[in-house]
Amino acid sequence: MAQAKMIFPADFLWGTATAAHQVEGNNVNSDWWAWEQGNGRILQNHRSALACNWWEDAEADLDRAAAMGTNAHRLSLEWSRIEPEPSRFDMDALDRYRQILQAMHARGIEPMVTLHHFSNPVWLVEKGDFNSDIVVDYFQRYTAKAVELLGDLVPKWVTINEPYVYVFMRYLNQLFPVGQKHGWLAAREAVRNLLRCHAAAYHAIKAQQPEAQVGIAKNMAVLAARPDGSALDRRWARWLSWLYNESWFEMMADGRLRQPFGRGVIPNLAGTFDFVGVNYYTRFYVRFPPRNGLLEQEWEPGAIVSDGNYGEVYPEGLFWAIKTVLKYDKPIYITENGVPDVADGIRPSYILTHLREIWRAISFCFPVMGYYHWSLVDNFEWDRGWTQRFGLIALDPETQARQLRASGSLYTEICTQNQINSDMAARYAPQLLETMFPGAPPTL
């Protein structure tokens, strides 16, 4: 039977993404571990505990990722394992990361490695971390060590994951481990030091591994005024969207600070990215003055909303995000995209509709080179603990039992066939057939 197909380039990277603290388990030297021990900080007082047991056995999930037909995976290094005390590098931890990276290569899975994904060594927090200039030298040395011992296995590096999410959640919302300072002035300072850390890490990587591709994974979200919003709401939405989605890229591109983060030039920052990593999940409504928080979590009628009121399913926003970063003229990777959906009721259509937007972008010759689905397996979802499940594979953290979700089977078909098609939609998300593949046969 005839099928409508959206075929991806032959060298497209099909991946999944995870972060160290969310999957490794027993991450005892990190600020997140310490934070989790306090009462009432994590929903339902959940703890990361053994997480997905990757420190002991990442290989088992990598087998599953290989069986899915993926050829890429984004993971992060846990700084507090590699440097558990200032200037003491743990060779066993670095060996373990080597094993994991080798296991990926052995399975035909190309690693993309993030150096900072939300967690810090406890000792660094005690020294003031992103509110102290010392963080830049420490981050540079940690990076240099990681590159020295692991660089031959890592073609792509991400320096920092979602700098603004990190700053927002830690300094303004205080839902992430709070360090010595919080509030807006501390947040501003942290942004400047994150930019400095990024620049230092970029050059530390390039000095040892000039051929490496180095970038950032930047969360992008559609921030929009409501359809019936005022002119002021729309102006506010435009400014907030620029601040949230674009200002970091602008500063990284020309090395100049933008207000409200300050003025002047950050030395060696200009041009420090070889690719753009976009983490895209959702759209938020905003209004001026803000009423229910800066980003409202109330949706328009008819919106499809994911578990825990996490967000609205809005695939067109991914196309917008790609278009927004085109001006930097760099390869684009979708370094995260996914949905919390324990019942797997919306994930299949989420995957298909978001990949359709990527395919559409590629058909305009926009340079989208790969897609890393968040996430391979249910993992510890930060302040929301285990209450939100993003995995293509379901996990029971108590027993460590795993089960491939239907969306995992769908992703397997996508990765192995390098396409999305009407037959997949008919079987996994029939409601999409009409809009996504008009004219395709209804049953196959």
Which residues of this protein are in contact with ligand BGC, per CB under 6 A? Answer: 19, 22, 161-162, 165, 219, 279, 336, 374, 381, 390
Of 356 and 389, nearer to ligand BGC (C-beta) is 389
The tokens 């302040």 sit on which residue? Answer: 383
For residues 374 and 393, the answer to whether their CB atoms sit within 8 Å is no
Of 162 and 423, nearer to ligand BGC (C-beta) is 162
Does an H or E element contain 167, and which? helix 163-167
For the bound state, the minimum distance from the C-beta of residue 311 to ligand BGC, rounded and expressed in Å, comes to 9
Is 384 exposed, middle or buried, given 0-12, 13-18 or 19+ CB atoms closer than 10 A?
A: middle
For the bound state, the minimum distance from the C-beta of residue 300 to ligand BGC, rounded and expressed in Å, comes to 22
Using Cβ positions, the residue closest to ligand BGC within the complex turns out to be 19
Residue 59, classed as helix, strand or coil, is helix
Of 22 and 422, nearer to ligand BGC (C-beta) is 22
Could you list the beta-strand ranges (E) of 8-124: 13-17, 72-76, 110-116
For the bound state, the minimum distance from the C-beta of residue 372 to ligand BGC, rounded and expressed in Å, comes to 11
The length of the chain in residues reads 444
Is 269 exposed, middle or buried, given 0-12, 13-18 or 19+ CB atoms closer than 10 A?
A: buried
Q: Residue 263, Cα to own-chain centre: how many angstroms?
A: 28
For the bound state, the minimum distance from the C-beta of residue 75 to ligand BGC, rounded and expressed in Å, comes to 11
Residue 1 to residues 4, 414, 418, 435: CA-CA distances in angstroms? 10, 19, 19, 19
Of 19 and 82, nearer to ligand BGC (C-beta) is 19
- Give the C-alpha separation, 130 to 179, whole Å: 9
Of 226 and 384, nearer to ligand BGC (C-beta) is 384
For the bound state, the minimum distance from the C-beta of residue 378 to ligand BGC, rounded and expressed in Å, comes to 10
Could you list the beta-strand ranges (E) of 230-373: 275-285, 332-336, 368-373
- Measure the CA dihedral 137/75/206/89, to 10°: 40
Of 219 and 324, nearer to ligand BGC (C-beta) is 219
- Give the C-alpha separation, 269 to 199, whole Å: 5
For residues 283 and 314, the answer to whether their CB atoms sit within 8 Å is yes
For the bound state, the minimum distance from the C-beta of residue 117 to ligand BGC, rounded and expressed in Å, comes to 6
For the bound state, the minimum distance from the C-beta of residue 219 to ligand BGC, rounded and expressed in Å, comes to 6
Q: Where are the alpha helices (DSSP H) in 299-391?
A: 316-325, 347-363
Q: Where are the alpha helices (DSSP H) in 179-230?
A: 184-208
- Give the C-alpha separation, 97 to 106, whole Å: 14
For the bound state, the minimum distance from the C-beta of residue 161 to ligand BGC, rounded and expressed in Å, comes to 5
For the bound state, the minimum distance from the C-beta of residue 363 to ligand BGC, rounded and expressed in Å, comes to 27
